[in-house]
Every structure is written in structure tokens, then in C-alpha cells.
A and B are shown apart, each in its own frame.
Chain A
Amino acid sequence: MNFDKELDARNLSCPLPILKTKKALNDLTSGQVLKIVATDPGSVKDMQAFANQTGHALLSHSEENKTYVFLMRKK
């Protein structure tokens, strides 16, 4: 799937992946998609909660070799 911007949040611990995601979304316009790559296992639940709270859409998340990839569409 296409995305407009990629955020490398690997090797960062809570709450940095969420804070960096929020900042990266600020640079996008409504409807654009952010790809986030993280290694913090807690980010799986946290990204869902972040999306629920803020109204951005978590389009997908996948895991490969302990790396988590998220696609989030800006509200």
C-alpha cells in the first residue's frame, strides 16, 4: 500500500514512538498516510489506543522479525 511519509521509530521505547507519530502526522494533510516502523512491542497496543483516541485511522499493522509496521491515515 502507498504512503506519503515514513517514520523510523526503531529502537525507541514508550512513549517516543507515539510522540514521534503525532509529530509526523502534523506534517501531513488530512487523508495522507503515514508509515511507522517500530521495534517496541508495546507500540502494537499503543498505536491502536492512539488511533482510537485521536480519530486517525490505523489502516494496518504487521510484524516481521520483531519489527512492527503500521499504516495510519490522518484524520
Chain B
Amino acid sequence: MEKQLERSAAVNPDLDRAIAARIDALLDERLEAKLAEIRAAKTPAMTIIATKGTLDWAYPPFILASTGAALGWDVSIFFTFYGLELLKKDLRTLKVSPLGNPAMPMKMPMGPEWFRAIRWNVPNAIQSLIPAYEAFATKMMQKTIRNKGVAPISELRALCLEAGVNLVGCQMTVDLFGYQPSDFIDEVKEYVGAATFLPMARDADVSLFI
């Protein structure tokens, strides 16, 4: 039977062409719908690399991760280098520095409107001479965050954990900076390397480096 089919196809190029054309047409017709079906059935996944450990840069990874989880996505954050600071038990030590950070709007979160509107452009050379300038700037930033109803980092991190966001630490940086596992929250179950992160990122729909 097979032999017969082969022979008839071989001797009938018109039939060959007709079959090929029909298959092409069916593919065009059904492929889109099939792909959409596959996309819809898959739970979206996001992987984030968090590399910064200052108060300002703590926000993007936790905002995106908690929102992704709220959308029903599988989310993992890989904390490496200074990003490991965001896994510490006490997040009140996070600071922000205006020094060498010309894009940071320096405005006062208190006083009358005209006073709040002033942008304090303090030259780097002077910033570096004022004692506790960084601590002051951090206090002002924390106050601004509270005033504007922005969640504190500790709350965003708790919401991430509650929503099942997977937090993993970079083993190499833990060793490099001499951290102890007890420095970090217990929810960090794994300390891994690049070879673990990359396959996760490969399967993710969204992968970000922050």
C-alpha cells in the first residue's frame, strides 16, 4: 500500500503540488490559532537580576516582581553583588546618596509649597564635606516616600514573599563579600550561580537586569 502511494505520488507531480499547497494553506489558517492557544495555556514567567543595594534602586525589582506575581506570573529574583543587601533581615539600613547622582531631584519633603519646589543642587565637592549628608538625604527620601503613599521596601518584599516570588542569592557574591547566611531572611532557600540562573531566564518570557 505504501509502495503504491509512493509510486503514484512519484508519477503524479500535480498531486504532489496540490497536497503541498493544501498543507501550506491549512498551516497558515491554523498556526496562528494554535500558537495563541499554546501561549494562553502557558503561565508567563519573569526572571530579574537585582544588582543594586541602595534605597532608590531597591524599588524596581520588588515593584516589578510583586506586580508580576499579582498578574499570576511565576517570578524569580536573583540577587547578586550589592543586590544582596535587599535580602538582609533589617532593611532600614538601606541608604540613598545624592553624591555623584546628578539626576536625583533634591527637594525637601516639608515646609510650604514654594520651599518644597526648590531643587537643591549642591555641588559634589560640598556634599562630600558635609558630615552625615548621606544620612540626611536618606531621611528626606524616607519621608518623601511616606508622604507620597509609596510602600516601604520591607512591605513590598513581604508582599513578594506572600505572593510566592522566588528569591535566590548569588553564592559567589556571598563568599566575595563575606556574608553569612544568617544575615539574610530565612525565605531565601537557595544560593546559586550563573549556571542555575541562565536556564531559568531562557524559559522566562521577561528577563530583566536591574
Which A residues contact B (CB, under 8 angstroms)? Answer: 11-16, 18-19, 21-22, 40, 50, 53-54
Contact = CB atoms under 8 A, between A and B. Distances in A.
Given A19-B67, A19-B159, A13 B151 contact: yes
A11 to B, nearest CB: 4
Nearest to A52: B71
A55 to B, nearest CB: 9
The list of the 8 closest CB pairs from A to B, nearest first, reads A22-B70, A11-B149, A15-B67, A53-B71, A13-B150, A13-B149, A12-B149, A15-B63
Interface of B: 63, 66-67, 70-72, 148-151, 159, 163
If over half of B's interface residues share one DSSP class (helix, strand or loop), that class is named, otherwise mixed; here it is: loop
A56 B63 CA distance: 21
Nearest to B148: A13
If over half of A's interface residues share one DSSP class (helix, strand or loop), that class is named, otherwise mixed; here it is: helix
Given A14-B63, A19-B159, A50 B149 contact: no
Given A12-B149, A19-B66, 17 more contacts: A12-B151, A13-B149, A13-B151, A15-B63, A15-B67, A15-B70, A16-B151, A18-B67, A18-B70, A19-B159, A21-B70, A22-B163, A50-B70, A50-B71, A53-B71, A53-B72, A54-B71
B175 to A, nearest CB: 33
A19 B70 contact: yes
Contacts of B70: 15, 18-19, 21-22, 50
B180 to A, nearest CB: 31
A40 B63 CA distance: 15
